[in-house]
Structure 1
Amino acid sequence: MPSSSPSPKNKVLVLGSGNFGSCLADHLGDSDHEVYMWSRKKSFVEYFNEHHKNPQYLKDHCFPNTIRAVGPDLPDAEFVKRMDVLLFAIPTQALRSLLTELRPSLGDVNPPLLIFVNKGIETVTNALTLEIIADTCGKDIARVSTFLSGPSFATEIIKRQPTMVSIASLSEHHAERASLVFHQPWFRCYRGNDPIGIELAGALKNVYAIAAGMAEGLGFKNNARASLITRGLSEMTRIGVAYGANPLTFLSLAGVGDLFLTCSSSTSRNYTVGFRLGRGESLNDVVESLGSVAEGVTTAIGLKAIVDGLDVPAPLANAVYKVLHEGRDVREQAQELLERPMAKELELPRKPGGPARALMNKLGIEEERY
């Protein structure tokens, strides 16, 4: 399918050579951008540049010649300043150290457009990516950073299957710029101004995908799956609003769209973790054999701390945490959930927005919705 991008061509540095970073690099390279993909592994850089293939992910796919691998050292300041876009596609737990290392190369005048596609909560600090950016790069860069999320399996993106995503930033101008970088007929972008909601939805859905996998592993059928997805959406919306996100964000592609995808497909790594736990395997055996990161496992830790701090009901998230990190039995946790007392179906917290307001204050932003 020929490119029909309305955007000017960009020099893009993709930081991360994993499954998702690779497929986005492929999409951007096929959209006629000049793309560089960084990896800390020298063997990856040499193999990719010789064969135009990723030796670990999407192994059978041949990447366009418009992509060049760089590394293993982080590109220097001169290289970074030539880039129009930096795309961060590394696990959330590694982001703070990378941004700290990269910050001197960004400069303070006309830095590259920063786009983040990681989904998770930093376990040590319980921070979202927006706060990590503020801590490492300062409020000015955080306020114009952009976030991409939505139902987007890598194996379908590289086949140019229709994909639609949410892109959000506190700066509408930068959200539009990021959308123009990615937008194609097969990869449609919808803009928003709630990066906190986008981040929470992208992180929390991984935890509920583990729950959905557990239900399948236990032998529960379609009624249970549909109910779990719906109750998961209700719960993540309640948590998000208590944090300070816009409730409508959870009805977006980054919210219910991504939640539905990851909770209903065995292609999802997080769903696979839950399924195997439901079948009786240990978490250590599952993680060791998975071969790629399932961020819901670590996200459950940060989410538990956030839920406790907000004092908001989150029975599904708490049950997943207990199985993953307290060694509780999957079947017993499922039974406890089924035996909970009757409750209202939909109820939002009465005092929303504390953590988001604090983060906006750090960024020097005052908005009524926080």
Structure 2
Amino acid sequence: MTYRAANGRYETMQYRHAGRSGLKLPIISLGLWQNFGGARDYPSAFEMLGAAFDAGITHFDLANNYGPPPGSAEELFGQVLARDFKPYRDELIVSSKAGYSMWEGPYGEWGSRKNLIASADQSLKRLGLDYVDIFYSHRFDPATPLEETMGALATLVAQGKTLYVGISNYPEAETRQAHAILKSLGVPCILHQPSYSILNRWIEDDKTVDACGELGIGMIAFSPLAQGVLSGKYNTGDTAGARGTSNNPFLKADNIKPETLEAVGKLAAIAKSRGQSLPQMALAWVLRRPEMTSALIGIRTPAQLHDNLGALNNLDFADEEIVAINAATTTGMVPSHPRWW
């Protein structure tokens, strides 16, 4: 059966500009980091991707190494683009990145011109596209001149391989430098993609969020649920399929501190008083800041998607709720560093 997107799909989603650019993103975007790899079959992948688009989620975020195995998320999404999303290409924002380890040898990671341009070409091939809408430098490379990394991004724009460029996981000082270099090349940096959640506030601690607000760079948060810790599942013990019980190198259930679980319990009570699930409140908390364009969700099931979308129903916080949230997380924060995730 040929897929036809739902009528009225733009009626309930909210959209925000990416910094000072003309590009708008849905305030909830779908990331394909760890749930759309080689173990995911086409029918179940499209069930979630189609449901997301039907709900007004137009932005699908990828990277060269997303899977597992690396590259498989782009390949799977490329199949969806070819088979079901093709008529809607101009309604979609497709993003990808390069910078983390992708292939063997000295050119398969970091921020060299060699890596970024080769990786972009490979991503386009896997996706079956002539261009992506946004291409990011996935992490700051201390061993490569930032002029080279940003110059490669500018070249990708000039070549028509991406419409916009951004950075991810860049600390405050390097964010300012990257913005200045791109501006000198006539290419705006429209987005910064950091990890950010109630339990992980490094962009506040090192003033990256303030720099982005000052410079007109939009922000899109990944891991707004702290790799699922803010789902509350690790408090209940219902962790079937959870990332912390898999081979996920970024989170192990046994390593979650008791103080963090205690904080999550307190946060769940605050969410309940707001008439929200904990994931809904966690997403709303990230989106409360004016610098934040969107929050990236990662889902395993359609039920998770629909629960996350419920955040749209209550995005406002009373001052006393913010005070209570801060008090609940005093001793439960996860490691706070741009390169932690």
TM-score tier, shorter chain, comes to 0.3 to 0.5
Larger radius of gyration: 1
Higher relative contact order (CA 8 A, sep 6+): 2
Q: Which has the higher helix share?
A: 1
Q: TM-score, normalised by structure 2?
A: 0.33
Q: TM-score, normalised by structure 1?
A: 0.31
